[in-house]
Chain A
Amino acid sequence: MITPAQPLLSRVADAVYWMARYIERAENVARFLDVNHNLMLDLPGVFSSQWQPIINTTGDRALFAERYGEATQQNAVRFLAFDAEYPNSIHSCILAARENARSVRETISSEMWQQINTLYLMITEEARKAAPESLPEFCHEVRMGCHLFEGITHSTVSHNEAWHFISAGRRLERADKTTRILDVKYFILLPSVADVGTPFDDVQWAALLKSVSGFEMYRKKYGRIAPERIVEFLLLDGEFPRAVRYSIGQTDEALHSITGTPRGGFSCASEQRIGLLRSELDFARVEAILEGGLHEFFDALQTKMNTIDECIGNDFFARRAEGARVWV
């Protein structure tokens, strides 16, 4: 006889899902900062302080203006990396991830807890300084810390229901953030017609690919740097782990593993919504997306992903209305 799996508390499912989302969010904010900083270094002097656009992509422009005013590098880094009052800063994300982890410490492995705690100690230490000594180094450290957490998660807990919630949270967050990273390029460095296709433009696209660790994989697949192909790669690739389509596909798989519903069907709202989005991406053509406007496409995509998140909450965490959860 096979011993049946332990049932999963709704509160615990909720907490591990958000723990994973927050870690992924922290990692991606570090990626934003890194790519923007990198791009600035390559730009000619007059353009070299474009930090406003990255603030815009977060959707928290008004909050930033109110608290900091001018979008200097120092302000942007303070805001996105260390601001404890800003719920999406790296600092706040790691804190929220840790609070969630703390509330389910018995469910996650000790190794996972130790890694999240190590990240927390690192970030609180860094937050005490006026600014990181080296921004790229700092971003790298956050990224590696989050990767390590992901790896530890993969290999120290059973791939059971809780793990699938972790996986769903991480993938959904990642899909959302990849669209925003692509947005950075579009928002900001909207290439003047004259620049398109110049070596300068290539440098920027390469930097963007590198920020999602996609440069090498892209090269292997497409060779030449071409904006449409890069959009295709990051949006519609079925194999690259940070591509939106891949991530949505994985979220879909995770939900099906949780419910036990066969692939291609659905048993609850979240499965239905994610299935729709998955097929949309499976059968999309990048040319059509570009024609309709990339930024508009991202907006619509982000709205759909938000709806999926709400459905997951209603379908599985149920007691959402009681305001019991640790999340921002």
Chain B
Amino acid sequence: MRFSAYRTESFYDEMFQDDGTPRPHVRLLVDTIESLSDGHLLRYQRAAERLLLQMGITFNVYGDTAGTERIFPFDLIPRIISAGEWDLIERGLVQRIHALNAFIDDIYHDQKILKDGVIPADVILSAASYRKQCHGLNPPWRVWCHITGTDLVRDRDGCFYVLEDNLRVPSGVSYVLENREVLKRIFPAVFEGLSVRPVNEYPSRLLEMLESLSPGEQNPRVVLLTPGIYNSAYFEHSFLAQQMGVQLVEGRDLVVSGGDVFMRTTKGLERVHVIYRRVDDDFLDPEVFRADSMLGVPGLMAVYRAGRVALANAPGNGVADDKVIYAYVPDMIRYYDGEDAILPNVPTYLCWRDADRQYVLEHLAELVVKSANESGGYGMLVGPHSTRAAQEEFAVRIQANPRNYIAQPTLALSRAPTIVDDHFEGRHVDLRPYVLCGKEISVLPGGLTRVAMKKGSLVVNSSQGGGSKDTWVLAPGGQS
């Protein structure tokens, strides 16, 4: 397969420049792919899909009773990020996570940023993800966002923008690791001559970070708390537990007794020190949050408050994940660190502001409207791709609850060549790097590149038919 018929059209393309020549850092990759004889690439593509199915790398689709497991579509052509681009991303993320931690800690203590009028108090107190139960909590090193999966996109200008912060229980990192494994196994030649930074040290980094949160025990026991096998990210939970060598537990495996958290084993109760929880705040402890939760552990929050167990991510951190509060992150960076944001936000209209709402209602056909607290591509309107009726429905919803809606210009997301039938076509992509934050902040050199597999679609979420690509960050000094 060759790229000769491939067109970037009017989009920023991850591999090709506007004149159709490969970007310097991907030239070698283009050569390797074009040097394959006919049919090879498609054969590899099918082999990769078969392998993913065999490995059982699947996700569950809510509300789909027939085949509840599906493979996450995988495109063989990697997405490459140059060392220079990565340097900017990395610095930008470290800066952002630092400010977000400072913000959350402030919100649950003195609320200086509200008192100083940088962010209106109403906006915080009305956020659905604000947890008053978390006031006065002091997680180790005052870190609230231990694991973050920030969504970045590129617009037509080629610049990276932060689209969402995903602080609560971000998922997808297992696909980053497995995609790399699959590509190495199926198409090893594609790596030749390039120095691609490895991603497989992530589980070790994650474990070290989690162990470092332990309340002063010598041999901390870390567990990963999952909602169970019917959760859409169950594969990832078991994968990470397995890779870290820690126990994967469900709420019913844990019990609070005498001020500590224990797990039930064949030989009795064993104390747990650190819980990497993949259960949402609401379901974590029925005594504190939702009383009807069957997934959590009664009494867990009291143990956490007493500092006898560590939780990652820290409950309550979702307050900074609200899409309205997102709009203030550049202000937070300026307020807490006195710096300008390295990675810009996407310009955002906040519907609770009269002028913004007015503008949004008049321009629904051009904007992307999102509800403040939903994720996974749900509860959103992509103006240019929407019907008149859908726009009218959103207009009603916005007017009924302006606090709950934001709008952003429809970005011309960058595209990357993707195998479609027997040729390449441009498909829109985003990038979700993963950031770990314990005593220090570290960014996994890579990330999840999600691809909107449908022609022209801008929605990359797996629940909406998105796929993924292996994502390469090139080492400095290599081909960049």
Contact = CB atoms under 8 A, between A and B. Distances in A.
Interface of A: 6-13, 99, 102-107, 110, 113-114, 117-118, 121, 161, 258, 316-319, 322, 324
B143 interface: no
A107 to B, nearest CB: 8
Contact of B264 (A6, A161, A319): A319
Contact of B265 (A7, A99, A103): A7
A99 B229 contact: yes
14 contacts: A8-B265, A9-B247, A9-B253, A10-B266, A12-B247, A105-B248, A106-B224, A106-B237, A106-B242, A106-B246, A106-B248, A113-B55, A114-B56, A319-B264
Nearest to B247: A9
Contacts of A12: 247
Interface string B393-422: 000000000000000000000000000000
Interface string B235-257: 10111011000111110110000
Given A11-B250, A319-B252, 13 more contacts: A6-B247, A7-B270, A8-B265, A9-B253, A13-B266, A103-B228, A105-B242, A105-B248, A106-B237, A106-B246, A106-B247, A107-B248, A324-B252
Nearest to A100: B229
A110 B242 contact: yes
A161 B229 contact: no
Contacts of A13: 266
A9 B263 contact: yes
Contacts of B253: 9-11
B53 interface: yes
A311 to B, nearest CB: 14
Contacts of B224: 106
B266 A316 contact: yes
Interface of B: 53-56, 224, 228-229, 234-235, 237-239, 241-242, 246-250, 252-253, 263-267, 270
Contacts of B252: 11, 319, 322, 324
B238 A105 contact: yes
B229 to A, nearest CB: 5
A9 B56 contact: no
A7 B53 CA distance: 32
Nearest to A258: B266
Contacts of B264: 9-11, 318-319
B266 A8 contact: yes
For the complex of A and B, 4 pairs with smallest distance between CB atoms: A105-B238, A106-B241, A106-B242, A7-B265
Contacts of A8: 265-267
Contact of B229 (A102, A118, A121, A317): A102
A103 B266 contact: no
B235 to A, nearest CB: 8
Nearest to B224: A106
Q: Is the interface of B mostly helix, strand, loop or mixed?
A: mixed
Contacts of A103: 228-229
A31 to B, nearest CB: 26
Contacts of B266: 7-10, 13, 161, 258, 316-317
Given A9-B247, A9-B249, A117-B56, A105 B263 contact: no
Contacts of B249: 9
The winner among B55, B224, B238, B250 for most chain A CB atoms within 10 A is B238
Contacts of A107: 242, 248
A7 B262 CA distance: 12
Contacts, number: 73
Contacts of B250: 11
B301 to A, nearest CB: 22
A276 B474 CA distance: 65
Nearest to A318: B264
B59 to A, nearest CB: 13
Contact of B267 (A7, A317, A324): A7
B242 A118 contact: no
A298 to B, nearest CB: 31
Contacts of A9: 247, 249, 253, 263-266
A61 B375 CA distance: 52
B394 to A, nearest CB: 39
B57 to A, nearest CB: 10
A118 B239 CA distance: 18
A320 to B, nearest CB: 12
B54 A117 contact: yes
A121 B242 contact: no
A7 B239 CA distance: 19
A114 B247 contact: no
Nearest to B264: A10
A114 B250 CA distance: 23
A107 B247 CA distance: 8
A161 B237 CA distance: 22
Contacts of B53: 121
A317 B224 CA distance: 20
B54 A7 contact: no
Nearest to B53: A121
Contact of B238 (A99, A106, A118, A121): A106
B16 to A, nearest CB: 37
Contacts of A110: 55, 242
A105 B239 CA distance: 7
Given A11-B252, A105-B238, A113 B56 contact: yes
Contacts of B265: 7-10
A105 B248 CA distance: 9
A8 B237 CA distance: 18
Given A9-B247, A11-B253, A258-B266, A114 B238 contact: no
A7 B219 CA distance: 14
Contacts of B234: 102
A106 B239 CA distance: 6
A294 B332 CA distance: 81
Contacts of A102: 56, 229, 234, 238
A102 B228 CA distance: 10
B102 to A, nearest CB: 34
A260 to B, nearest CB: 10
Contacts of B248: 104-107
A316 B253 CA distance: 14
Nearest to A108: B242
Contacts of A318: 264
A297 B56 CA distance: 43
Nearest to B250: A11
A284 to B, nearest CB: 32
A101 to B, nearest CB: 9
A9 B263 CA distance: 7
A265 B203 CA distance: 43
Nearest to B223: A9
Contact of B54 (A105, A121, A161): A121
A258 B241 CA distance: 23
Nearest to A317: B266
A114 B242 contact: no
Nearest to B50: A121
The winner among A7, A110, A118, A121 for most chain B CB atoms within 10 A is A7
